[in-house]
Structure 1
Amino acid sequence: MRTSIATVCLSGTLEEKMLACAKAGFDGIEIFEQDLLVSPMSPEEVRALAARLGLTLDLFQPFRDFEGVEPQLLQANLHRAEAKFKLMTRLGMDMMLLCSNVGTATINDDELFVSQIRQLADLAAGYGIRIAYEALAWGTYVNTYQHSWEIARQVDRENVGICLDSFHILSRGDDPEAIAQIPGEKIFFVQLADAPVLSMDILSWSRHYRVFPGQGGFKLDEFLGAIARSGYAGIISLEIFNDVFRQSNVERTAVDGLRSLNLLQSQTAALLDAQGIGSALALQALPGGQKANGFDFTEIRTEDPEPVARLLAQLGFEFRGQHRRKPVQLFSAGGARIIINSQRSRGVTAAVSGFGVQVPDPAAAGERAVQLLARPVPRQHLRNEADLPGFNAPDNTEVFFGATGDAGGWEAEFGVHESGAAAEHPALIQCIDHLNLAQPWQSFDESVLFYTSVLNLQALPGTEVPSPMGLVRSQVLATGDNAVRLALNIVPHGLEEAIDRNHEYPEHIAVRTGDIITLARNAVADGMDFLHIPANYYEDLAARFDLEPQLLQTLQELNLLYDRDEHGEFLHFYTETIGNMFFEVVERRDGYDGYGAPNAPIRLAAQFERNRWSRH
């Protein structure tokens, strides 16, 4: 499938955008006119740079407000168009995007639209240029793809076809199925954009909230499937208007865009294959998504392992051994394995640095990640050491794939810790329940796409949580059976420096137990310093739930939090924060499957208060 991206999607100068698109691996680009107007490069220089980078210049856009006007304005529009055709000739481009009129149309007459666009087509033909007519969702008179196709059909010129944009079609709730009935050769160009499902005017929605495929709520595999069934064999491009993307690193955004197209074409190929339909788009399928069967381990990076090791011991983890050639320690309890890594950790008090998941075929999972443009972790290993494919997530968390059925096979590298005595307390930890990872505001959508595509996780409905630092946006990603769960929390805008200075927004590892009260009492006896929960919380708890007085007293005594839904109960507590991380211990009773969301503001406020006083 030939891929392209509109320069309006990206931050930076036109030159920087072109370099980033080529480096990411796009086949071509759309030139957004504003990017050219403000560029110091001449059209000839842009053309030469594209040739050197191996980029095709696929579409010049947009040409606005042409049809449905009085004769005098039509002549001015034709004069304006001819100037652009001459410019396109200098660029070496042969296709222009014509948007349906939204600003100057005063005559609602399809015959007039046809006549005027026919004049534009005849003028364009003299320059070897094709016109792709696009219905904008807020067009004054033409705002559906069915209408734009009917006009283009009546224009009846070889150099006039239509441009189909997923946002303009799906934002209106239009059914894309009829696209399959349009002759593929008359679809000149296809632009894709996803978007979160919002209730707002379409123009504002379009200008600020478009995202890459897979980051929103549109069914773009079905949309692209309808395109494929038409016989279309041309370019699939991205046109995204997004405030965050226009402020983010241009190279990362370009990679994220191409990753989204690689994933979408694989999903569409699978959809068409299931229907027994071929495609002229030459869709490339990715290696099958591996279902993660559980966490293999989590990793903490720290310059000084002792404070983290103390916390783990208080929670009932046992030291298993030191890696035979690296400053890396292994602790385990039940099915939970935690690695403390002191490599490249100077100045790091403590931070969640990575995790591993168990999959049926780690090599296939690694190959899929490569095709989704994930950055491999540079990791050296000897031939008698486990080869775990690893990749950097957008927030630089390292993600590794281990083999199901060989869980912890790499433990041999740590030897066997012979303590010579039984542990004082039996291990009450069962497994790693979930990880909570903080995301910079500019990479949140990028991270969601990374984890859903590379780890094959499903995005659950997002939530927003109030905190003293601002409103926190949270997104849970999980396997269908919840064997692997990630909670991504977007850092409130402007807090990045505060986080680095004061650790006000730490990440955490949640471990599961079947007896949280006993575990908490053992931890208290071993000197654990819990996160203190204010008394007001327990008064509110008594008002909301009919709890046994003894249970309520125990909860308050141990700083335990509580939640209940129609399925079951949830008890949990938090440890002190070390560096930029802490631990959570959870007990899920009966069928409770949430995360204690009503308690999140309590935790955030308690941590904020504790950190505030610790700095004085």
Structure 2
Amino acid sequence: MAKQYSLAYLTVLGCPPDEMIEIAARAGYDFVSLRPIYMGLPGEPNYSLADNRDLMKKTKRALAETGVKLLDIELARIYDGVEPKRYLPSLEAAAELGGRHVLSSIWTDDRNLAIERFAELCDLAKPLGLTVELEFVPIASVRNLHGVLDILNAVKRENAGVMLDMHHFHRSGDKVEDLDQVPRDWFRFLHLCDAPAEIPASAEEMTRILREARLYIGEGGIDIAGIVNRLPEIPCSIELPNTKRSQELGYAEFARRCLESAKAYFAKQPRVEQVFLHSATPK
């Protein structure tokens, strides 16, 4: 089965969703991963589809005309003071567009609050046919695979899963063997990118790389094949922010090169089937 690829929002940071879909189609992506949840970051454009019906119509039309599908939306963060219900309009927009997943991460050190709010997010998403994938981020509160599994085992929601980012997995110091202990059906898609093998000593440098200086697949030092071969065959969302290259090349050419590097890398890698110790989500 051929790998399927999605164009993630951070790869073409600032690109409107309808334009992003057209770029993805021309480059040969199967999906897009959009950010309709406005985060209020400095300089961040607001592409809230729930609040902008004209943009919603353009996005829906672009999906229909190109045949590209919506893989997931981001980013339903869990942090102190957040009420997951604020994400509901964006979840409903994702469902209307045929989306499959919602990406989440945890930015509170209050474990009980994290469990409560993440469980609530899963419950809001379930009637809409959406799963919620928890991503660990090395600069967040839940920063490694152990932390994600702790939350998922506590919430016990069938529509909850784990989303691995190649950069974050490498930086966390987790071992590929640890992936064998994760229920197979908790993996639904992954984030693909590369980065230097050396882990930055400072949080500032790590943050800089993850936000604006990731590398084409196969260009850095992450054992991408070793990680991916421990997972089931799932879509690869290319999240590869590189400010310098995207500005020099433009959104369309940069997105194309990201995809071509991924295809070239995996064409050289033998697919190794792994034996998973768990195959079902605990009830």
Q: TM over 0.5, yes or no?
A: yes
Counterpart of 2:12 in structure 1 is: 10
Tell me if 1:48 matches 2:61: yes
- Per-residue CA deviations over 1:133-178 (Å, capped at 9, x if unaligned) read 11111112x1102220231133111111111111111023322221
Partner AA of 2:192 in structure 1: L
Q: 1:115 to 1:255 in 2, by over 3 A?
A: same
Give the letter aligned to residue 14 of structure 1.
Answer: P
1:48-447 matches, cutoff 5 A: 48-64=61-77, 66-67=78-79, 69=80, 73-74=81-82, 77-101=83-107, 105-107=108-110, 109=111, 111-140=112-141, 142-197=142-197, 199=200, 200-201=202-203, 202-227=206-231, 232-247=232-247, 248-268=249-269, 270=270, 272=272, 277=273
Partner of 1:27: 30
Deviations 1:580-611 (A, max 9, x none): xxxxxxxxxxxxxxxxxxxxxxxxxxxxxxxx
Whole-angstrom CA distance in 1 between matches of 2:48 and 2:104: 21
Alpha-carbon separation, structure 2, partners of 1:189 and 1:271: 17
1:183 partner letter: P
Runs of 4+ more than 4 Å apart: 38-41
DSSP-derived class of the 1:167 partner = helix
Does the 8 Å contact 1:9/1:245 carry over to 2? no
- Whole-Å separation in 1 of the counterparts to 2:114 and 2:17: 34
Report the Cα offset of residue 22 of structure 1: 0.7
C-alpha contact 2:230 2:274 (8 A) present in aligned 1: no
Aligned 8 A contact 2:12 2:20 in 1: yes
1:19 counterpart SS class: helix
Task: After TM superposition, give the deviation of residue 31 of structure 1 in Å.
Answer: 0.5
Does structure 2 retain, via aligned residues, the 8 Å contact 1:59–1:96? yes
Q: Tell me the CA shift for residue 25 of structure 1.
A: 0.8
Structure 1 position 122, deviation (Å): 1.4
What is the CA–CA distance in structure 1 between the aligned matches of 2:209 and 2:194, rounded to whole Å? 11
Cα 1:278/1:138, change in 2 over 3 Å: closer
Cα offset, 1:206, TM superposition: 0.9
Aligned 8 A contact 2:85 2:124 in 1: no
Structure 1, residues 412-439: CA drift from partner, whole Å, max 9, x if none? Answer: xxxxxxxxxxxxxxxxxxxxxxxxxxxx
SS in 2 for 1:162: strand
Bigger proportion of residues as strand: 1
Q: How far, CA to CA, are the matches of 2:266 and 2:166 in structure 1?
A: 15
Aligned AA for 1:84?
S
* Cα offset, 1:256, TM superposition: 0.9
Partners of 2:274 and 2:207 in 1: CA distance:
36
TM-score of the pair, normalised by structure 2:
0.81
Distance apart, 1:271 and its partner CA: 5.6
> Secondary structure, in 3 states, of the residue corresponding to 1:240?
coil
Distance 1:234 1:271, change over 3 A: closer
Q: Deviation string for 1:477-533 (max 9, x for gaps)?
A: xxxxxxxxxxxxxxxxxxxxxxxxxxxxxxxxxxxxxxxxxxxxxxxxxxxxxxxxx
Cα distance in 2 for residues equivalent to 1:17 and 1:152 = 32
Amino acid in the other structure paired with 1:182: V
Q: CA deviation at 1:45?
A: 2.4
Deviations 1:161-202 (A, max 9, x none): 111111111023322221133122111221111012453432
Is this contact kept in 2: 1:220–1:264, CA < 8 A?
no
* Residues 130 and 82 (structure 1), Cα distance of their counterparts in 2 relative to 1, 3 Å cut: same
2:255, 2:212 → 1: CA distance? 18
Question: Are residues 85 and 38 of structure 1, via their aligned partners in 2, closer, same or farther at CA, if it must alter by over 3 Å?
Answer: closer
User: For the pair shown, which has the larger CA radius of gyration, 1 or 2?
Assistant: 1
Cα deviation, residue 215, structure 1: 1.8
SS in structure 2 of the partner of residue 188 of structure 1: strand
Deviation at 1:239, TM superposition (A): 0.6
- Pairing partner for 2:47 from 37, 40, 44: 37
Identity %: 21
Q: How far apart are 1:242 and its partner, in Å?
A: 1.4
Kept in 2, the 8 Å contact 1:85–1:124? The answer is: yes
CA distance in 1, matches of 2:185, 2:61: 29
Matched position secondary structure for 1:194:
coil
Equivalences, count: 257
Task: Give, in whole Å, the separation in 2 of the partners of 1:99 and 1:49.
Answer: 28
Q: CA deviation at 1:63?
A: 1.6
Partner of 1:346: none
Give secondary structure in 2 for the equivalent of 1:37: coil
Aligned residues: CA RMSD: 2.4
Question: Do 1:5 and 1:28's aligned partners in 2 also have CA atoms closer than 8 Å?
Answer: yes
Do 1:212 and 1:238's aligned partners in 2 also have CA atoms closer than 8 Å?
Answer: no
Distance 1:181 1:62 in 2: 26
AA matched with 1:9: T
Work out the CA distance in 2 between the residues paired with 1:162 and 1:27.
Answer: 21
Give TM-score, length-normalised by structure 1.
Answer: 0.39
The AA in structure 2 aligned to 1:30 is S
For residues 27 and 75 of structure 2, the distance between their equivalents in structure 1, rounded to whole angstroms, comes to 24
**Whole-Å Cα distance in 2 between the matches of residues 26 and 36 of structure 1?**
24
- Give the distance between the partners of 1:112 and 1:249, measured in 2 at CA: 41
Gaps of 5+ in 2: 39-44, 276-283
2:41 aligned partner: none
Look up the SS of the partner of 1:226 in the other structure: coil
- The separation in 2 between residues aligned to 1:265 and 1:159, in whole angstroms, is 29
Task: Letter of the 1:82 partner, please give it.
Answer: L
Task: Looking at secondary structure, tell me which structure has more helix per residue.
Answer: 2
Within 1, Cα distance between the matches of 2:196 and 2:96?
A: 39
2:28 aligned partner, one-letter code: G
RCO (CA 8 Å, sep 6+): is it higher in 1 or 2?
2
